[in-house]
Amino acid sequence: MRPRCAVSIDLDGIACYYRIHGLGAHPAELEHVILERALPRAAKLFAEKGLRVTWFVVGRDVDWQAHVRDGAARAANADRLAKLHARGDELGNHSYTHPYDLARLSADTVAEEIASCDRVLRAITKRAVHGFRAPGYDVSPAMLDALAQRGYRYDSSVFPAPGYYAAKAAVMAALAVLRRPSGAVLTNPKLLAAPSEPYRPAMSAPWRRGQAPLVELPIAVTPWTRIPAIGTSLLVAPEAIRRRVIAAMAQRPFFNFELHGIDFADAEKDGIPGELVAHQPDLRIPIAEKLARMSAILDELKATWECVTLGEVAAAVQLAH
């Protein structure tokens, strides 16, 4: 059997990046730029490649019922996702408001964030939701509880990449010195030593193997060195490194390839201000070049791996473990 690959794309709005980089409030007119401008580019590329993917959705961005403000924009976002679901893509839960500190909030808040996003996604697809990804890669026992109660098949938040963690800690420390604190939160370091292949976690300790009814599908890191194999890092890496990381992933039976909506944004065409571009190297690459690189990456994936959705991988892992 060929190894399996699942491509997923987290639809974090531009506000998330303003928060991470401590830039204050984002320009209001860019509230929906990722879903309105970047998502269609991503969807077009996936369709050309014949790829079905998993979209991790922040519930509030597509909740056309609960918001008076921007109702039309949110309805249009929901409509885009409905069309993707109709063609075979999966919609996953990425919380309702994307709080980076969700793992540190009360169990009630966690349950509500998950339930509210779940409600909106079910209204769009008329189907049960199977998967969740925590904001900021930080999964907690309260999240597993809420997911298990809703009958979810999988969580896909564990990102066992110590190098990424160290880089994030350094940036956060630098911003603190500049008195411009980052809205990001350091993940529980125990997650860095979590298994890097799919596993059934312990309900009380998601970073360890156990007996949970749902499975954990960790985000891709290379074997041994645990270098992140995610879209944003591969897009900015020199071609030789990109090839080496992908070749290393071929040693794994499963490649959980994570992208972000912003990977498909174009600073100039989408009107993203220089203050954010200064902090996001990927935004300095024109969209034509990013699409060409992404297209080459996806061709390589398709040549080596059988590409399925995370929900399908989770169903198989549940049977096997």
Chain positions contacting Zn ion, by CB under 5 A: 10, 12, 135
* 22 vs 252 by CB, closer to Zn ion: 22
Report which residue type is found at 10: D
Task: Report which residue's Cβ sits closest to Zn ion.
Answer: 12
* 219 vs 236 by CB, closer to Zn ion: 219
Structure tokens at 288: 């034509």
Angle between helices 107-125 and 71-86 (to 10 degrees): 70
Residues sharing a CB contact under 8 Å with residue 127, sequence separation 6 or more, in sequence order: 85
Shortest spacing between CB 152 and Zn ion, in angstroms = 17
* 74 vs 133 by CB, closer to Zn ion: 133
* Tokens 């100039």, located at residue: 268
Shortest spacing between CB 153 and Zn ion, in angstroms = 20
* 188 vs 304 by CB, closer to Zn ion: 188
How long, in residues, is the chain? 321
Shortest spacing between CB 230 and Zn ion, in angstroms = 12
Pairing of strands 306-308, 4-10: parallel
* 156 vs 309 by CB, closer to Zn ion: 156
CA dist., res. 184 & res. 57, Å (int): 19
Residues sharing a CB contact under 8 Å with residue 292, sequence separation 6 or more, in sequence order: none
Shortest spacing between CB 8 and Zn ion, in angstroms = 11
Shortest spacing between CB 28 and Zn ion, in angstroms = 20
